[in-house]
Structure formats: structure tokens, C-alpha cells
Amino acid sequence: KQEVTQIPAALSVPEGENLVLNCSFTDSAIYNLQWFRQDPGKGLTSLLLIQSSQREQTSGRLNASLDKSSGRSTLYIAASQPGDSATYLCAVRSGNQGGKLIFGQGTELSVKP
Amino acid sequence: ETGVTQTPRHLVMGMTNKKSLKCEQHLGHNAMYWYKQSAKKPLELMFVYSLEERVENNSVPSRFSPECPNSSHLFLHLHTLQPEDSALYLCASSQDPGAGGTQYFGPGTRLTVL
């Protein structure tokens, strides 16, 4: 059964720092991996989607990498801003569970001005 | 109006009440989903509908009853809930329920069961 783990659970950094959020998954049979952002009390916004054949995706200050064989993904945020404060969720589309989206618990990020 | 909308945004109900959550997607998608997000736990998939047919039911208690009258609308009917059912209920849609594309999420309904 696919399990997704995100480390750390919470992170606080000063504005301007570059930071890395980590995601690991137990079953490498995935279709894709997706990073979402969730603001307090709100729904999820998709940030980046990496297909299983890809190694990374970039969007603005965000870069997500995928190492399927080791079951790891990282989300790199460059030059962090207070507006980046949110919970970041990693989810894999699991190949062995009917394409179901399996989520990690998230990393709560706080960027201090 | 675009995207995925959910109503109500907040709901407080007693254990003997009956209420319904509504989701509407304006994206022309064929698949819709209900997720439950409890405090300190990962999102849990509850139901998946594809072209108005239920294709997934993740061992959800019968006190939760989904309804999908057409490809744009999804309901979650609630009755005799328990306090542990208090959570954020998120609706999502995608072009199809298969492995390819992104799911688009609504803002959620914050449910409190007293």
C-alpha cells in the first residue's frame, strides 16, 4: 500500500531564504507526482505536476524534482516571500491502487518578514 | 463563474441532523471526487464519480451518501454523523478519473458535528 511522507511537518524561515521541502513514497509504481499549496481553511492549488518519466518541473521560483527509483521528490522554493506561507502537500498518483491520488500530511511553511 | 465551487463553506450540525454538501464544477470535466481532510491527517479519498457513475467507494460509512445527478454537480448527503466526522470536506474534478491529469479542488466545506 502506497504511503507518502513529508518532512519536515513544519518549517519557519526568514524572508529571502531558499528552502527545500521533502516528500518520500514507498511504492515507485507511480503515474505522476504533484505538489499542491493549501492556504488556511482553503482548498488546494496545484503547483507542479511531474510525470513518472520526468525528472523535474519548474514554475517561476518553484522547482520540483522526482527520483522515482528512490521514492523521493523535493520542492525547492527560491527567494522565499511571506506570501509563500501555506501548507505544501505532496501527492502521488499510485499505479498499484487504480490511479488513486495518495497524499502526504503536508509541510506547514511560515516565511517571516 | 469558473473552477470548482462548494456550498456551504461552513456547516455546524448536530448528530441527529440531515444536511447536504454541494459541489459544482464549471470546467467541463467528467470525473468528480469527495475527499475528507481531518486535522493532522492526510487527505482521504472518499468517493469517485466518472460520467455520473460511482467508480470508487473507499469503505466510507453509510452515514455519508454521495449523489451525482450530472457531470457538473456532486452532492454529499449527511445523516446521523459523529463528532469525529468533523473535518474539511473537499470536492475535486478532473478530465477523467484515470492516471493522467490534474485534479482541481474546490475551497472546501468546514463541517463541525456537535
* pLDDT above 80: residue A76: yes
Closest residue to B106, CB basis, from A31, A43, A105? A43
* pLDDT above 80: residue B105: yes
Cell 502537500 locates to A89
pLDDT tens per residue, range B45-95 = 999 988 777 777 778 999 999 999 999 999 999 999 999 999 999 999 998
Q: How far is A43 from chain B (nearest CA, A)?
A: 4
Q: How far is A44 from chain B (nearest CA, A)?
A: 6
Q: Note whether B30 and B71 are within 8 A (CB).
A: yes
Residues 6+ apart with CB under 8 A from A20: A74, A75, A76, A77
Closest residue to B41, CB basis, from A43, A45, A105? A105
Q: Note whether A61 and A77 are within 8 A (CB).
A: yes
Give the residue from chain B lying closest to A101, CA to CA: B45
Alpha-carbon distance A63 to A47, whole Å?
10
* Residue A25 φ then ψ, to 5°: -135, 150
SS (H, E, C) B24-77: EECCCCCEEEEEEECCCCCCEEEEEEECCEEEEECCCCCCEEEEEEECCEEEEE
Interchain pair A95, B99: CB under 8 A: yes
* pLDDT above 70: residue A20: yes
Closest residue to B99, CB basis, from A41, A99, A103? A99
Residues 6+ apart with CB under 8 A from A60: none
Give the residue from chain A lying closest to B90, CA to CA: A43
Cβ neighbours of A95 in B, within 8 Å: 99
* pLDDT above 90: residue A1: no
Q: How far is A91 from chain B (nearest CA, A)?
A: 9
